């Protein structure tokens, strides 16, 4: 089976300004979960992501941090409770955590 993988923030870098990507990389507040979220937003909702970026870096980073914290909290709790038979996106959907912008 042929599979291509991307590096964290590779998809987001195709949509967002280099300065925005650098701000996310530089910030100690963001980790792989946040980078994954930003890539997902860039893939699924590039126009909405551009609008969010146009509102300002602080607005975008605040929204990303909020989403990262929600997802991290839910997925960390599931890891403590034991392995789940569900994919991450299914777990988040069960907890009514939106995946899109």
The confidence score (pLDDT) of residue 14 equals: 97
Average of per-residue pLDDT across 14-22: 97
pLDDT-derived band at 64 (thresholds 50, 70, 90) equals very high
4, part of any domain: no
Q: Does some domain include residue 101? A: no
pTM for the structure as a whole:
0.87
Taking the C-alpha atoms of residue 50 and residue 15, their distance in angstroms, rounded to an integer, is 7
Per the model's pLDDT, the better-predicted residue between 34 and 80 turns out to be 34
Residue 67 lies in a domain: yes
Q: How many domains does the chain have?
A: 1
Residue 30 lies in a domain: yes
* 38 inside domain: yes
What confidence score (pLDDT) does residue 77 get? 84
Q: How confident is the model at residue 49 (pLDDT cuts 50, 70, 90)?
A: very high
- The CA-atom distances, in angstroms, between 92 and each of 24, 45, 88, 98 are 23, 18, 6, 7
Closest among 60, 56, 55 to 12, alpha carbons compared: 60
User: In this structure, is residue 100 part of a structural domain?
Assistant: no
- Kindly tell me if the per-residue pLDDT of 81 is higher than 90: no
**Structural domain boundaries enclosing 35:** 10-94
Residue 5 has pLDDT above 50, yes or no: yes
Residue 16 lies in a domain: yes
């Amino acid at each position: 089976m042929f599979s291509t993988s991307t590096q964290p923030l590779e998809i987001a870098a195709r949509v967002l300004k280099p300065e925005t990507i650098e701000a996310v990389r530089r910030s100690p507040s963001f980790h792989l979960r946040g980078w994954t979220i930003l890539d997902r937003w860039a893939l699924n909702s590039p126009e909405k992501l551009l609008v969010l970026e146009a509102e300002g870096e602080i607005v975008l980073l605040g929204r990303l941090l909020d989403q990262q914290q929600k997802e991290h909290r839910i997925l960390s709790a599931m890891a403590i409770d034991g392995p789940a038979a569900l994919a991450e996106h299914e777990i988040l959907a069960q907890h009514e955590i939106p995946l899109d912008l």
